[in-house]
Structure 1
Amino acid sequence: MKTLIIGGGNIDSDFALAFMIENPHDFVIAADRGMEFLRKADRLPDWIVGDFDSAAPEALAWFESRGVPVRRFRPQKDSTDMEIAILMALERGSTQITILGATGTRMDHMLGSIKNLSLALRAGVPCSIVDAHNRIRLADKPLTLERREQYGKYVSLLAFGEPVTNLTLRGFFYPLDGYTMTCDDAIGISNQITEDEAQISFDGGRLLVIESRD
């Protein structure tokens, strides 16, 4: 089951609507203020979750009047709205999760959402944060990137937590062979795919994989 989560960050409406049409999902969760984008687009999510400290009350009332179920949480909680949404997606048996509205001006919220990718990774469920310029994923095993499917011109790799050991890159402008990347290492920024396929292999650790376009 493919699940789409709409967060309360910055959303390019034209991009998001086109993305939703081109990538249909089986289940849609609005996380707090993310519902405001859906209201403007006249689309109903399957669930709305959050503490609703930042969403307009009239937007919530609009969805409730149309029968959309709501899971409310108190603002003084230990989990973010995005974390709650991801956990709901996993509880419902999602096999793929995509997140829109997780980037924007609040760097703390964005970093929190990136850290929440670990929830899906531990469950073995592919999960990505997408906006008009970036696709962000977390990997704990080797992967191959197809140049014809890449999301933009640049590929950046960052160690996420513990060191990434024996990191080897093939098919990139800047190759690596058996490198140990630590979390304070920026050597993986702004690489480019030069072959039809690019291989990323490593023995241990987790990699944040960011595909970007200007």
Structure 2
Amino acid sequence: MHHTWLTPFSVLAMALTKCWDPEVILFRKNEPKNVIMIPNQPVTEDVVDFLKATWNRAALRMCVDGGAETLVRIMGCQIDNFLPDYITGDFDSVSKETLKSFQAKGTTIVHTPDQDETDFTKALRVLKQAVESKALQIDHVVVLCSSFDRVDHMMAHFNTLFTSMAFLHVPVCLYSGSSLTWLLGEGRHQIATPKHLVGEWCGLIPLGEPCREVTTTGLKWNLNHSEMRFGGMVSTSNTFDASGVVTVETDKPLLWTMGIAPAKV
């Protein structure tokens, strides 16, 4: 009989595995434990149906600056049924009339004029305060994004994922309608990849600093104690095997991105 002996380290790693399920992140229906945030950028048509179906199921709803105007454009005459709890930002992209209209309907307006951080980062700081003051239990922050036609905006969003790890102990996930992206912290992760939801591609990007040791399972091209860094190995245009689950072990934070099939909400 073959025995597999678990070392104390392997037992600890199994106990500390962080589990991720894209279906729970995007479509959690039993308990409202997600935050939905519309940043100050256009959203793609792919996310409009998702937004309409999930907005009022969220524990908290936020617009960042011009994201309030985006919400008005999307919802039109139905806007009174899709009110945000908070609008934050330096307000250079939202009209005073829009702010006054939402405020009169109960939305909290928080001006964040500090130019040392992006409106997105500042919105997450406001979110932290709101979650603490309301004693909310939040599992994920889902940020609706476009597919990024400006690389500087894309990099600023990725930088916020790293920055927010220091003060917001809730995963922040970027959703474009066709992709879902978040940061995997140091340690072991298990990611569900249900066939009806995931697309055909995925990637692991060592964006913040080199990852000296990365090991994966569940991918077509797995990594085995591999070093990942810019100027060296990155894993893009990877895909999934038939197992339905991906595991990632990393010694440094690592950006995970995956294709998502058109939402059926």
Query: What interval of TM-score do these two structures reach, taking the shorter chain for normalisation?
Result: 0.7 to 0.9
Which residue number in structure 2 is paired with residue 27 of structure 1?
Answer: 60
State which drifts further: 185-194 or 60-69.
Answer: 60-69
Which residue number in structure 1 is paired with residue 202 of structure 2?
Answer: 155
1:100 aligns with 2:132: no
Secondary structure of residue in 2 paired with 1:113: helix
Which residue number in structure 1 is paired with residue 85 of structure 2?
Answer: 46
* Number of positions where the alignment pairs a residue of Structure 1 with one of Structure 2: 212
State which drifts further: 174-183 or 60-69.
Answer: 60-69
Name the CA distance, whole Å, in 2 between partners of 1:139 and 1:8.
25
Which residue number in structure 1 is paired with residue 188 of structure 2?
Answer: 142
State which drifts further: 81-90 or 21-30.
Answer: 21-30
Which residue number in structure 2 is paired with residue 130 of structure 1?
Answer: 175
Name the CA distance, whole Å, in 2 between partners of 1:18 and 1:161.
30
Which residue number in structure 1 is paired with residue 230 of structure 2?
Answer: 183
Bigger CA radius of gyration? 2
Which residue number in structure 2 is paired with residue 197 of structure 1?
Answer: 245
**TM, length-normalised to structure 1:** 0.87
**TM, length-normalised to structure 2:** 0.72
CA positional deviation for 1:5: 1.2
Q: Residue 9 of structure 1 contacts residue 105 of structure 1 at CA under 8 Å; is this kept in 2?
A: no
CA positional deviation for 1:184: 3.2
1:67 aligns with 2:115: no
Seq. identity, %: 21
Which residue number in structure 1 is paired with residue 122 of structure 2?
Answer: 84
Name the CA distance, whole Å, in 2 between partners of 1:20 and 1:208.
28
Q: Residue 166 of structure 1 contacts residue 178 of structure 1 at CA under 8 Å; is this kept in 2?
A: yes
Which residue number in structure 1 is paired with residue 3 of structure 2?
Answer: none
Alignment equivalent of 1:2, drawn from 20, 23, 34: 34
Change in 2 beyond 3 A, CA 1:151/1:114: farther
Name the CA distance, whole Å, in 1 between partners of 2:115 and 2:164.
21
CA positional deviation for 1:165: 2.3
- Corresponding letter in the other structure for 2:90: D
Name the CA distance, whole Å, in 2 between partners of 1:22 and 1:120.
24
Change in 2 beyond 3 A, CA 1:185/1:89: farther
Change in 2 beyond 3 A, CA 1:188/1:21: same
**CA RMSD between the two structures:** 2.3
Q: Residue 9 of structure 1 contacts residue 104 of structure 1 at CA under 8 Å; is this kept in 2?
A: no
- Corresponding letter in the other structure for 2:50: A
Name the CA distance, whole Å, in 2 between partners of 1:104 and 1:211.
15
- Corresponding letter in the other structure for 2:245: E
Stretches of 4+ moved more than 6 A in 1?
none
Change in 2 beyond 3 A, CA 1:161/1:102: same
Q: Residue 8 of structure 1 contacts residue 101 of structure 1 at CA under 8 Å; is this kept in 2?
A: no
Name the CA distance, whole Å, in 2 between partners of 1:205 and 1:85.
25
Q: Residue 128 of structure 1 contacts residue 137 of structure 1 at CA under 8 Å; is this kept in 2?
A: yes
* Runs of 5+ unmatched residues, structure 1: none
Change in 2 beyond 3 A, CA 1:20/1:114: farther
CA positional deviation for 1:90: 2.0
- Corresponding letter in the other structure for 1:35: A
Name the CA distance, whole Å, in 1 between partners of 2:216 and 2:238.
10
